[in-house]
Structure 1
């Protein structure tokens, strides 16, 4: 478990609120306070998140629901956040 005081931000993503790709990207805009130029796809999400330097702990609640709702796209979302954690020291990931 990560000590939250080590991180500037803790972002909690509730999979129940991501039933479609469109809903997922609207939710990412809200939760990550993404810029207006965000392209609403996973490549664009990667680009904007990798530009950031603040320490961020991401919690995905309901991983099974994310996969149920979005199938392969849900898997791709999980892969993106796992890659983010492995490639960037300022991100950690917790999945429930």
Structure 2
């Protein structure tokens, strides 16, 4: 089984619009990606390729400083997608849940 690694840098996510442009580019999402948290959850929770998707979020404190509320919702969405899909593993640096 293949393993894929995606590193998401919190310094590159300054506002919701920029965040979703960055995520679309990093994950190579299709053009129909809705650029919102529901769309992110939908694409990740239904990921069914042959492999494991490892998502590592770095510079988490910068993300939460720039987008306190939205950043928390984003991290929770990633964790929720991981809980819904055993092929998604999420690692968040500097965050103790």
| 1:19 aligned counterpart, secondary structure | coil
Q: What is aligned with 1:3? A: none
Query: Are 1:26 and 2:30 counterparts?
Result: no
> Residues 21-40 of structure 1: CA distance to partner in whole angstroms, max 9, x if unpaired?
11100011011110111111
- Preserved CA contact (<8 Å) 1:58 1:92: yes
Q: TM-score, normalised by structure 2?
A: 0.87
Query: Are 1:65 and 2:62 counterparts?
Result: yes
Aligned residues: 91
**Poorly superposed stretches of 4+, deviation over 2 Å:** none
- Preserved CA contact (<8 Å) 2:45 2:82: no
Listed as ranges, the matches of 1:16-95 within 5 Å are 16-54=11-49, 55-95=52-92
RMSD: 1.2
Q: TM-score, normalised by structure 1?
A: 0.88
Residue 8 of structure 1 deviates from its aligned partner by: 2.5
